[in-house]
Amino acid sequence: MNQDIKQNTNATSTAANHSVEHVAEKAHDHSHGDGDSKRWIDKEWLMAIISFILLGVGLILDFLIKPEWFSGAIRFVWYAVAYIPVGLPVVWRGIKLIFKGEVFTEFLLMGIATIGAFYIGEYPEGVAVMLFYAVGELFQGAAVNRAKRSIKALLDVRPDKAIVLRNGQYTEVDPTAVKVDETVQIKVGERVPLDGVMLTEGSSFNTAALTGESKPTSIDKGETVLAGMINEEKVVELKVTKLFNDSSLARILTLVQNAQGRKAKTELFIRKFARVYTPIVVFLAVGLTLLPYFFVEEYDFNQWLYRALIFLVISCPCALVVAIPLGYFGGIGAGSRNGILFKGSSYLDRMTRVDTVVMDKTGTLTKGVFKVQKVVSKGLEEKDWLPLVAAIERQSTHPIAKAVVDHVGDQAAANVTNLEEIKGHGLKGTVNGKEVLAGNGKLLTKFSIPLDDELATVVDTVVVVAVDKKLAGFITIADEIKEDAKSAIQQMHALNIKTVMLSGDKQAVVDNVAKTLGIDEAYGDLLPENKVEKVEAIKKGKPEALAFVGDGINDAPVLAISDVGIAMGGLGSDAAIETADVVIQTDQPSKIVTAIKIGKRTNAVVWQNIGFAFGVKIIVMGLGAWGVASMWEAVFADVGVALLAILNAVRIQRMRF
């Protein structure tokens, strides 16, 4: 991932890019392992420490002890040696970039300013500027690594081995070599290498890498297990359903790696600004040195050169071109830590403008799992007819039948004979000698069994049951609403966000869910193309930004036309996840609000940095041009402001949403 970021920064060829690239390279060095990281820290900090010691001793000799021998060539050589460890790498980098045709970089600014300070005899200030700049770079690298921590944690979960069953024996292979339908074994404490279906009776899995949730998830036989999960209970076997590169984990890593390629408008503006800004300040510095000759009676070249050098140090765009991208990267990292993947910093910006959220119902606001809501007895006691209907429903694979069986549990009667499925109506069978009908109202009408008037008022899906030609009762079944759906809608309303729900379910069901959750508008009986038409109609009302949230393959077209497409990624379809701009890995509606808050906080921090950096630089530039500010104030305006802006950007990581 760090390499991808570095490639992205190289592509733009601006002063801003070089600053980001320089920090990214250092962060990249860290990623090679503890040994390389330690060597990098030792080398960079050792150079800074040597320079600091030599500068400190020089200042003591200059201003406290004041020996006669510490003057002339000896004094120059002393400070030159102090300058080389921190200054030479920066100057050399600037020279190399000049040969590449990229003249106006921050490295050129720092080189001119510090060498100029030596020219006019301000040796300590020349060393100090470069030393603080080098230390600032070290802290910038550390800040980048901190901001990347949440995302780098994802890279660390990539399994490097898979134990696959071949020729009756388990063999350890690379996960990329495993084929679909092969069986893999996962021991306790190991990461799942590929997506698959559980063949073992069940186990508990840590899903934090994929969902951000630390609570273990129980997965039973026949259910899906995703790559990156950690097996916590017992040795299990999975039947592989996707190749390694197509797994959920690989898809998430790809999204994260590509995230920095989609830049926010603010970030792109700063980069364009830096490309124009840097040469302008160089020419202004030249003008500040030479033009006073024509207007000042007692012109002192060294005095005006010193002011110009201060101006150059202050003008370095470090705070802007490092802290601003880092702010957005921090927002992406904060999202990752909360189970939300932003596919780029541009979508963080878009989230700040969202004032209308349109949501699919099934799988987004509801679990997509049918559950018995109510059992109503009419002609028989519940205990006499409910086990009978569960017995025949057990023979069906329909989700509604499964809901009935799950509700009844072990009470279901046995000995089912003459089972018959009547298409579009339901089931008929004999259970323990009794004829049982279970289905919709049409089924009972077909057998001339009168229906109860109460059935006409039921909104949910209904399974009507008759035993021996008499109405026994009915069962209402509905898709279960997600636990945090209502609070998510309330939080959106608190942010003055309009909520709309779209669904293919009948309007009565949609209205019932909307009323329960407090949704502003709800539309049912929609085909996929109707959803597109409805979203386009809402957009004609000119909301500032419209976000659509969905999870199914039929939601992909709507996700594509929305200002921000948000996919429920945990159980969502590949098409929805690939089309969306933001992916919520936990399938929680409340994360929609979290994503909006992260976008707003990130945007606020970025503009705080812009305002702070520009404000301080303009003030100190003016003071420097008039001879009021010294090189020490210039160091604060450059490196100090950059560090404060970076710390402000990293603060996003600590925020609670």
- Residues recognised as catalytic: 360
Closest Cα partner for 337 from 149, 205, 192, 156? 149
Provide the 10 A C-beta neighbour count for residue 194: 31
Q: Is 187 helix (H, G, I), strand (E, B) or coil?
A: coil
The DSSP secondary-structure symbol of 452 reads P
Pair 513, 366: CB distance under 8 Å = yes
Query: Residue 228 contacts by C-beta under 8 Å, 6 or more apart in sequence?
Result: 157, 158, 159, 191, 192, 209, 210, 247, 248, 249, 252
The span from the CA of 55 to the CA of 79, in Å, is: 7
Q: Residue for token digits 């659509």?
A: 548
Residue 468 three-state SS: coil
CA distance 650 to 329: 9
**What is the rounded CA–CA span in Å between residue 610 and residue 592?**
27
Cα atoms in the Cβ-side hemisphere of radius 13 Å centred on 173: 17
How far is residue 99's CA from residue 237's CA, in Å, rounded to a whole number? 59
**Both tokens of residue 353?**
């403008």
Output DSSP code: residue 449.
P
173 sits in which H/E element: strand 169-173
Asked if residue 219 lies in contact with residue 151, where contact means CB atoms within 8 angstroms, the answer is: no
Which residues sit opposite 358 in a β-bridge?
500, 548
Sign of the dihedral through C-alpha 259, 213, 513, 515: negative
